[in-house]
Structure 1
Amino acid sequence: MATTQEHDAGAPPSRLRRLGRTVVGSVSAALLWPRLKLATKAALAAGIAFFIAPYMPGSAADYPYYAPLGALVAMYENVSGSMRQGVQTLVGLAIGVGLAFMLFSLGSPSPVTVAIVMGLGVILAGLPKIGSGSDWIPTAALLVLLVGGHNPDQFSFGYLLQMGVGVSVGIVVNLLVFPPLHFKAAALSLAELRQALAQQLWDMGKALKENWPPEHEDWSRRSEALAAHTRSVRAAVQKADASRRANPRRRLHPRDVEEDYRNLRDLERLTFHIQDVTQVLSDVIWATDHPFVIPDGQAAPLADAMALVGDVLHAAEEEDAQGQAQLIEEADAAVKALTARIAAEDEHPGAPNAVESILLSLHRMLRVVKSGGGKRESDTSPAGAS
């Protein structure tokens, strides 16, 4: 009971420390160079747009504050995203303005007309392929009704023109001022996942050589973490793919993103097989209702085979093609030797042998590697392409 009281008494400071670390981590992440670069470009685009805004023709010059808003709307982490988001925003604004003009026939703005505009705006926001522009449909309609006042024509013209100028400036700035390429992040993510899979095989191999139940069991709880890691790597590769579209810097930093996708798919297959081995081995060690066994005489050679497959994955980042081929041959020989040994002897008649299941997974992993999953990614882009 005393221990519980001491724990409760110390909980608030502990929560405060965790909160402090979370806040510091969030602030640090927000201040990373990509975010600072995006913020700098957004500030530059907004400043340029506001400088140009007073020179717009007619009544549009009376609404200069919408130009920097358009520049901010069009600022995205990649060029193709800026173009898509800017065009979608302008389409949404045009639909909203048209909706407001249609409802001006009902008379001056009133609670009823505002309600109708909002309802129809939300309905139209569900139109397909409008994307981020959907949110601007009811917003634009409401602004024309309430801010346009007695001059909806002039306001609508100025609003659309200034937003269009701002969007154009934002796209141009993002296109010309060091548009980001996220190739380096994708390559690092693929390499990190491959090393994480190799480490999982090494750790499971060590567990097979320890006295059971093994002292180290962290590996048995990594299955979901590996799946989450795989999802984050896919997101990184997709981000790299999006960053190269309409990006003039891609000619200076060429990279075969299709190969990244192929490597990603192979790593996803490897992750699936390693998760299966993790589950089988965990059940053999700790599950009381599991009928499978690993005979004592087969544990050590199975551990060696798992470690060799881990070496194969690790070698994709460290060894040359000849060294990789040699490691693949050694791992394949170890898997085949143990498979032949199991076929020749049966130390536990009637008891399902978990080694066969694990060996099948190891064989499938090596088949993925031989087909290209273990090869080093083509890194033709200079280190600065990030």
Structure 2
Amino acid sequence: MSTAPHLRNVLDHARLARYPTRRRQTPVRAAAAAGLAWAVCTTAFGSDAPYPAALAALLVTEASAFRSLVAAAQYSVGCALGVLIAVPVAVFVHPTLPALCLVVFASVVAAQHDRLGHHGVHVPITALFAFAMARSQLWDDLAPHVLETAVGVAIGAMLNAVVFPPLHLRPAERALGELRDQLARVLELLALALRDRRLPQELLGPDWAAGLDRAVRRADDELTAARESRRWNLRSAARGSVRHLDDDVLDALARVADRAREIGRLLDDERDERGPSPAPRRDAAQRRGDPVTPAFRPGGARLLVGTALCVRSCAGGRPHPILPAARWAGRRLHTAAGSTKDHGLARQLEDMLASLDDGRGAPTAEPAPGAGGAVEVGRR
């Protein structure tokens, strides 16, 4: 068995497990925001250790401008609620155990509001900090703490929203490009398996379907991150329309990947038909239907290769020029299918091509005599 498919699977897995760029950017932004908040407080207010400012700045630094602004609002509201809950009790009631329990109960109830998210934990933290102060030291200690927190929140949100706000378009482009390449290679090797009557696992490796699933999930995650990074982003690139990062592109590729897995399953069903005993072969044929006919294999392989060409050009613009002819050839192939397995494979091929076609469901005119040869581009 050739080691080339296994080597390609290892390379695909390493590429999909690559450390995302945004994971490197967020710590750098958090460190810059915390350092800037510390420097501003020490310079403007003469604070010796303005840790509330640095803490607030790093906690509101998120992977996108939108999430950073939301985190800043949640952090600010959480701290304000903690102060509003604890200060009246600390001023008008002597710090006692019942008063402490009342502050904790009220702050925890307020922290459970859904709109505060995970920053709701700052409600009881700030409330306990304010309550623990003696009444004589309340304003001397609490006012600088609140001011430094406000400075840290403002600097953390501003750094993400104004100073080179994060925009995660290139990771999404790379993920979709890698998905297209991997899916097209799978289709080409499935075509080879169909034409030469070989099992897909011999060419693609045992976990090729799982690798395809990982590629689809990674593209989905990166596309979601790219879409979120464009919200409330002031960079000019964020205001433009990115056609090749459309969700329709990912949906079409995901549907093609589903059909490719189904074709692999249908071809794997022929495994038991190679057994030495005729009786098991007849029983297997009865369970799964008739095998693939020899007349179907060359046309199905050519159509798979043509589909791979269309997959490589599936980027949200005009479809590949051979797509109309491929859809017409797919219908002809389905009509000429001579067995149950032929019909199943032809149906999966037609679904693939329909997913890639912008006018899915619309009738495709029969190509001119010269256009039919376009499908033969993938002939091996």
Bucket of the pairwise TM-score, normalised by the shorter protein: 0.7 to 0.9
For 1:131 and 1:114, the matched residues in 2 are separated by: 24
The alpha-carbon deviation at position 137 of structure 1 amounts to 1.4
The alpha-carbon deviation at position 84 of structure 1 amounts to 0.8
Which residue does 1:15 correspond to in 2?
none
For 2:195 and 2:134, the matched residues in 1 are separated by: 78
Q: Is the 8 Å Cα contact of residues 71 and 170 (structure 1) preserved in structure 2? A: yes
Q: Is the 8 Å Cα contact of residues 206 and 303 (structure 1) preserved in structure 2? A: yes
Q: In the superposition, relative to structure 1, how do residues 321 and 258 fare at CA in structure 2: closer, same or farther (>3 Å)?
A: closer
Gaps of 5+ in 2: 1-13, 274-283, 361-380
Amino acid at match of 1:302: G
The alpha-carbon deviation at position 91 of structure 1 amounts to 0.6
RMSD, matched Cα: 3.4
The alpha-carbon deviation at position 219 of structure 1 amounts to 5.5
Which residue does 2:304 correspond to in 1?
306
The alpha-carbon deviation at position 74 of structure 1 amounts to 1.9
Q: Is the 8 Å Cα contact of residues 69 and 161 (structure 2) preserved in structure 1? A: no
Q: Is the 8 Å Cα contact of residues 203 and 219 (structure 1) preserved in structure 2? A: no
- The match for 2:175 among 186, 189, 195 is 189
1:356 aligns with 2:351: no
For 2:77 and 2:63, the matched residues in 1 are separated by: 21
Deviations 1:78-133 (A, max 9, x none): 211111111110111111222223544653254x5555544443332221211232
For 2:289 and 2:298, the matched residues in 1 are separated by: 17
1:340 aligns with 2:335: yes
TM, length-normalised to structure 1 = 0.74
1:80 aligns with 2:66: yes
Deviations 1:210-235 (A, max 9, x none): 35556715356333332332222111
Residue 295 of structure 1 aligns to a residue in which SS?
Answer: coil
Instruction: Describe how 1:10-25 pairs up with structure 2 within 5 A.
Output: none
For 2:204 and 2:102, the matched residues in 1 are separated by: 59
Q: In the superposition, relative to structure 1, how do residues 165 and 258 fare at CA in structure 2: closer, same or farther (>3 Å)?
A: farther
Q: In the superposition, relative to structure 1, how do residues 215 and 131 fare at CA in structure 2: closer, same or farther (>3 Å)?
A: closer
The alpha-carbon deviation at position 147 of structure 1 amounts to 5.0
Q: Is the 8 Å Cα contact of residues 62 and 158 (structure 1) preserved in structure 2? A: no
Residue 336 of structure 2 aligns to a residue in which SS?
Answer: helix
Q: Is the 8 Å Cα contact of residues 34 and 54 (structure 2) preserved in structure 1? A: yes
Which residue does 1:159 correspond to in 2?
145
- The match for 1:275 among 261, 267, 272 is 261
Q: Percent identity?
A: 22
For 1:183 and 1:65, the matched residues in 2 are separated by: 34
Deviations 1:220-266 (A, max 9, x none): 63333323322221111111112122222234883426852221222
Which residue does 1:52 correspond to in 2?
40
Which residue does 1:293 correspond to in 2?
290
Which residue does 1:145 correspond to in 2?
131
Q: Is the 8 Å Cα contact of residues 200 and 264 (structure 2) preserved in structure 1? A: no
Q: Is the 8 Å Cα contact of residues 284 and 292 (structure 1) preserved in structure 2? A: no
Q: In the superposition, relative to structure 1, how do residues 84 and 315 fare at CA in structure 2: closer, same or farther (>3 Å)?
A: closer
Q: In the superposition, relative to structure 1, how do residues 233 and 259 fare at CA in structure 2: closer, same or farther (>3 Å)?
A: closer
The alpha-carbon deviation at position 330 of structure 1 amounts to 4.3
Deviations 1:9-58 (A, max 9, x none): xxxxxxxxxxxxx9xx99x94xx76455443433332233223225767x
Which residue does 1:199 correspond to in 2?
185
Instruction: Describe how 1:214-225 pairs up with structure 2 within 5 A.
Output: 216=202, 218=204, 221-225=207-211
1:233 aligns with 2:233: no
For 1:42 and 1:260, the matched residues in 2 are separated by: 30
Q: Relative to structure 2, which stretch is displaced further, 294-303 or 362-371?
A: 294-303
Deviations 1:181-200 (A, max 9, x none): 11111112112112222122
Amino acid at match of 1:135: V
For 1:220 and 1:210, the matched residues in 2 are separated by: 19
Q: Relative to structure 2, which stretch is displaced further, 208-217 or 302-311?
A: 208-217
Q: In the superposition, relative to structure 1, how do residues 52 and 122 fare at CA in structure 2: closer, same or farther (>3 Å)?
A: same
Which residue does 2:53 correspond to in 1?
67
Q: In the superposition, relative to structure 1, how do residues 102 and 258 fare at CA in structure 2: closer, same or farther (>3 Å)?
A: farther
Q: Is the 8 Å Cα contact of residues 122 and 137 (structure 1) preserved in structure 2? A: yes
The alpha-carbon deviation at position 165 of structure 1 amounts to 0.9
Q: In the superposition, relative to structure 1, how do residues 279 and 107 fare at CA in structure 2: closer, same or farther (>3 Å)?
A: farther
- The match for 1:328 among 320, 323, 326 is 323
For 1:321 and 1:177, the matched residues in 2 are separated by: 36
Q: In the superposition, relative to structure 1, how do residues 258 and 190 fare at CA in structure 2: closer, same or farther (>3 Å)?
A: closer
For 2:222 and 2:105, the matched residues in 1 are separated by: 38
Q: Is the 8 Å Cα contact of residues 89 and 132 (structure 1) preserved in structure 2? A: no
Q: Relative to structure 2, which stretch is displaced further, 167-176 or 328-337?
A: 328-337
Q: Is the 8 Å Cα contact of residues 106 and 113 (structure 1) preserved in structure 2? A: yes
Q: Relative to structure 2, which stretch is displaced further, 221-230 or 237-246?
A: 221-230
Which residue does 2:31 correspond to in 1?
43
Q: In the superposition, relative to structure 1, how do residues 200 and 270 fare at CA in structure 2: closer, same or farther (>3 Å)?
A: same
